[in-house]
Amino acid sequence: MEFLTDYQIWASFLSLTALEIVLGIDNVVFIALLVNHLPEAQRQKARVIGVLLALFMRIALLFSAIWLIGLKEPWVEFFGYAFSGKDFLMMGGGLFLIAKGTTSIHDEISGDRKDSYQGYSAGFHITILQVILIDFVFSFDSIITAVGLTENIWVIIAAMVIAMLVMLFSSKYIADFIAEHPTLKMLALSFIMMIGVFLVAEGLGLHVPRGYIYFGMAFSLGVEILNMLVKRRKTLR
């Protein structure tokens, strides 16, 4: 029962759950666009299948990632430095998150959002296949972010299950809230880039205590909440 009093476990769990919810909204939005052309009777079924597939794919990829992290034996050497499978996963995943965060922030600023699935029509089974493809893309992003925050597999699974359940039953309300407060999305994308830098550093053998990440995220979120309260007060005047 030590996990109940371990602040790092709770910090990673709460941080990861919040990030999974905010970043998972795009996944839900794409699923909604894909199933929008289906008959009303099939939309909810396809939406539920899409979210459940996303959860299943995340957990499957998670076990693969944890297996790679366990490969600590050196694979190659460069200039006297030995790199293992874990190091390559960390560096590759970190670079992916940095690129993902950068391009997403650029799209948010420029407004160049490509809703390429809008208006596309296909049968139910073809739509489900498309949902699986979209889930795979977003799952990789989600898993690398999770591993960057904690290597505790049960914390990651618990956070993902809760995030998926929240999105399944209240995705519309969450999407509306984030649309009303776009700075939250920008903050989450900035966290993604920060975690990417952290992963690259880990892959290069530079250990950074995760407590610094949790503190930075909590402090930034606290400032953002204060900004939201100030903005709300000005609006009510």
What does 132-194 look like in DSSP terms, one character per residue?
Answer: HHHHHHHHHHHHHHHHHH---HHHHHHHHHHHHHHHHHHHHHHHHHHHH-HHHHHHHHHHHHH
Q: Is the pLDDT of residue 61 over 60?
A: yes
Structure letter (DSSP) for residue 2: G
Query: Higher model confidence: residue 172 or residue 184?
Result: 184
The answer as to whether 156 is a domain residue is yes
Let me know if 146 is exposed, middle or buried by CB neighbors in 10 A (0-12, 13-18, 19+).
buried
Euclidean distance between CA atoms 46 and 38, whole angstroms: 9
Its domain, for residue 153, covers 10-236
Task: Decide if 231 is inside a domain.
Answer: yes
* 141 within domain boundaries: yes
Band (4; pLDDT cuts 50, 70, 90)? low
Domains contained in the chain, number: 1
Q: pLDDT (tens digit, 9 = 90+) per residue, 130-139?
A: 777 767 766 7
At 167 the pLDDT is 74
For the chain, give the mean pLDDT: 77
220 within some domain = yes
pLDDT at res. 224: 87
Note whether residue 4 is domain-resident. no
Share of the chain above pLDDT 90, in %: 0
For 213-221, what is the mean pLDDT?
82
Any domain includes 2? no
Which residue, among 176, 139, 185, 135, has the nearest Cα to 19 in the 3D structure? Answer: 185
Q: Sorting pLDDT into bands at 50, 70 and 90, what band is 233? A: confident
5: in domain: no
Helix axes 7-35, 182-203, angle to 10 degrees: 120
Could you tell me if residue 3 is inside a domain? no
List of E strands, the chain: 74-78, 81-84
Question: Over the stretch 125-172, which tens digit does the pLDDT of each residue have?
Answer: 787 777 777 677 667 767 777 877 777 888 888 888 888 888 777 766
pTM for the whole structure: 0.64
